[in-house]
Amino acid sequence: MQIEVPREFERLGAVRIYGLQKVYELDAGPAMTEPGRDDAIVRSLPAEAIYEVQREMAIVVPVRSERLKLIEGVLVGIPNPCLVIVVSNSPREPIDRHFLEQDSIADFCRFSRKQIMVVHQKDPVVAAAFAAGGYGDVLDDLGLVRDGKAEGMMIGTVLAKMLGKRYVGFVDSDNYFPGAVNEYVREYAAGFLLNGGKDTVVRISWHSKPKIVEQSLFFAKWGRSSRRCNRALNQLLSHYTGFETEIVKTGNAGEHAISLDLAMSMRYATGYSVEPYHYIDLLEQYGGVFPTEHGDMRRLVRICQIESRNPHLHADKGDAHVAEMIIGSLATIYHSRLCPASLQKKIDTELRQGGYLKDGETLPPVRIYPSLAGLAMDRFAASAQEIVERRLGAPPLARPMVS
Amino acid sequence: MQIEVPREFERLGAVRIYGLQKVYELDAGPAMTEPGRDDAIVRSLPAEAIYEVQREMAIVVPVRSERLKLIEGVLVGIPNPCLVIVVSNSPREPIDRHFLEQDSIADFCRFSRKQIMVVHQKDPVVAAAFAAGGYGDVLDDLGLVRDGKAEGMMIGTVLAKMLGKRYVGFVDSDNYFPGAVNEYVREYAAGFLLNGGKDTVVRISWHSKPKIVEQSLFFAKWGRSSRRCNRALNQLLSHYTGFETEIVKTGNAGEHAISLDLAMSMRYATGYSVEPYHYIDLLEQYGGVFPTEHGDMRRLVRICQIESRNPHLHADKGDAHVAEMIIGSLATIYHSRLCPASLQKKIDTELRQGGYLKDGETLPPVRIYPSLAGLAMDRFAASAQEIVERRLGAPPLARPMVS
């Protein structure tokens, strides 16, 4: 991959948010005999270096009632060196959709001789492992893991940690283009390579999103939700730095990857708020605004934003989904202790004008889970061993799994 | 890349047409310590092997008035080890669109430190080189290379030969997804790897082509032209083998690659007929039907067909374009000496029923160029040296160009 180094960044305490980086070549080929120039504006990252990072990376694919053809395409796109963890919350009744998923993934594993871990969000073994690890926050009244994409991502993150991985990345399961998935995972590796891999978040800004406008395709740059979410995050930053900024382009980025140690120390918001809340959590914890409470200011946290070259064409989830995302993402900002009254007022007005808040309603707070640092990994692992052993596909050919 | 071995083939004389091959992984990662099993149904082709083939490959991108954003995306998708040759036939008046292309490609080369050869189809130097090589067939009354995609592809092929490449591949410049382009070029390499690289044609069958149907996307498998073209080619084959077949899936495949020695010995049809005519030419020359005329039956020619995983989303060229393709591709079959009277009658009826042929009209024959074997390469190269030296971009970092 050839990728430009970021041209700018905004800093708040120990958090650095880098400007959007452009990609110049999806595949830079193998290493050249002459070493790449470190001072170059565009860095060439050879395939070997990319693979080395990917070998330490788990890719989590959250699934919920997705078409099997799309899931298979996503699996085809994930580079081989990555460990794949599918976390499904598809219904098991009246039709056992999860059974169909397992069957289809097992088929893919048979042909590709690949191992894939498939786990159901409502599996009692998963819930028992969280309980054993002393992290009951994620469980509902029935004692099972709560519904929600964030909760599935947390399962994937903990399993990746248990299996000794160093990075965890996420890709949505409704992508029509395997080649786009392949690009995202390369970009995750590129982001870690450029930033040393420690305490780094890599977030993808889609090149564009094709929409049908008057019987032809229009390649929209910003979605209705991400436009609002990015603006509010930038206003929050500006409030503290005193400089107006447009640095944040990936407030809603579903496609992102995190250094696993950092991921284990972050708090998570439920549902669609999970992605923008990464910004809020990192700014609250490492932004240095409340110096007495938290703030290991020596832990430099880097948020790296990369613009993908492929457009993003995914299954259409409809307008209700967009409204939920808008409300969920702005709520994380509104309810942050960092949010000044002036920005709260702006967000409130915006939501009322857009019809997302009715008269008399107030923006409900979002459920926040405490950091996974509170989870006793050894006890979780002892309980979850069964899930790891249940993974689909033949034993790996030569590359033993880290455990 | 992980790819299945073909499950079947049809044979006519020395020509083998392999059944469609499915891809199971876009990126199989680096070589494993344990060697891959040669007897496997799905072969894992490590990145190193793919790159080794790509280093000997030129990718020709025919351009005609394409949007610059799309051209840049296609260049981003081509793997680094390949030599890129852009052959443009964009108008130079009233607006010099080719100048804008050169400017935009030079910009891309500057950032990616890549070398790209850009040549205009109407460049008098190119025409002079063909004339010097004793191959005037491709020139028009003004002494310049004729208009047409096939003619541009022939320029690219000869330049690739001149630069010592072993394979030549083609990708269209109107693709919205750089990741799809990346996949095609990997598949070219996979096809050559699986077949030994000699006398091989690799043709891509698109996974699907998204179309707008009633305000949502429908992923169509077969286009209006490819459906007809494949059927006619299969009927032609069946006539000689005595077995009905559906083996041909890539009659119209714009995405294809050829061993360069084979490409230099093939005849070319003009315009949109160029792709289906590959089948016709190879069957006429190596099918063993006219044993007294041609037919080096020891030259085993393999046509390998691979189904891409990415859908193909390209700029919409409209209905006139489809009609031209239908007429052009069926004409190559109709006018082949191999075509039995019964198939000629079927084609004629089909075109009349579809409104492509009016009463009193007959299907016009297609211009066929003789094989490029008749071109004196040394004299062409001496004249064309100037074009090679004019290539855009900085000198390569470490990988010297073969010359």
CA max distance for chain B: 67
Closest chain B C-alpha to A257 CA, distance in angstroms = 19
- Burial of A308 (C-beta count, 10 Å sphere; 0-12/13-18/19+): buried
* Cβ–Cβ below 8 Å for B29 and A73: no
* Nearest chain B CA: its distance from A306 CA (Å): 15
What's the pLDDT at A398? 40
Mention every residue, 6+ apart, whose C-beta is less than 8 A from residue B38.
none
What is the least distance, in Å, from the CA of A203 to any CA of chain B?
18
The pLDDT of residue B322: 87
Within 8 A of B56 by CB-CB distance, chain A residues are none
Non-local (6+) Cβ contacts of A75 within 8 A are A61, A84, A105, A108, A112, A114, A116
Task: Give the alpha-carbon dihedral of A368, A370, A372, A378, to 10 degrees.
Answer: -130
Which residue is listed with tokens 């992102």?
A256
Query: Are the beta carbons of B112 and A24 separated by less than 8 Å?
Result: yes
Q: What is the pTM of this model?
A: 0.94
Q: Which residue of B has its CA nearest to A180?
A: B179
CB-CB neighbors (< 8 A) of B32 in chain A:
397-399
How close B71 comes to chain A (CA, Å)?
A: 12
Q: How confident is the model at residue B396 (pLDDT cuts 50, 70, 90)?
A: very low
Residues B159 and B117: beta-carbon distance below 8 Å:
yes
Asked if residue B135 has pLDDT above 90, the reply is yes
- For the record, the structure tokens of B33 come out as 């310590």
CB contact under 8 A, B25 and A114: yes
pLDDT in tens, B7-25: 999 999 999 999 999 999 9
Reply yes or no on whether the pLDDT at B134 is more than 60. Answer: yes
Does the pLDDT at position B119 exceed 60?
A: yes
The Cα–Cα gap between A71 and A76 comes to 9
* CA B338 to chain CA mean position, Å: 23
Walk along chain A (403 residues) and give the pLDDT tens digit of each residue.
999 999 999 999 999 999 999 999 999 999 875 555 667 889 999 999 999 999 999 999 999 999 999 999 999 999 999 999 999 999 998 999 999 999 999 999 988 888 899 999 999 999 999 999 999 999 999 999 999 999 999 999 999 999 999 999 999 999 999 999 999 999 999 999 999 989 999 999 999 888 877 778 888 888 888 999 999 999 999 999 999 999 999 999 999 999 999 999 999 999 889 999 999 999 999 998 886 665 567 789 999 999 999 999 988 777 778 888 999 999 999 999 999 999 999 999 999 999 999 998 999 999 999 999 999 999 999 999 998 887 776 444 444 334 3
Q: For residue A399, what pLDDT is reported?
A: 41
CB contacts, 8 Å: A217 with chain B: 212, 313
Q: Mutation target for B interface from A177, A207, A306: give the one with most B CBs within 10 A.
A: A177
Which residues does chain A have within 8 Å of residue B79's beta carbon, measured at their own beta carbons?
Answer: 26-27, 29
CA dihedral defined by B63, B64, B66, B71, rounded to 10 degrees? 10
ipTM: 0.92
Q: How confident is the model at residue B398 (pLDDT cuts 50, 70, 90)?
A: very low
Looking at residue A40, its pLDDT comes to: 81
Tell me which chain B residues have a C-beta less than 8 angstroms from the C-beta of A112: 2, 24-25, 42
Write down the H helix ranges in B173-273.
178-195, 224-241, 260-265
Question: For position B399, what pLDDT does the model report?
Answer: 42
What's the pLDDT at A293? 61
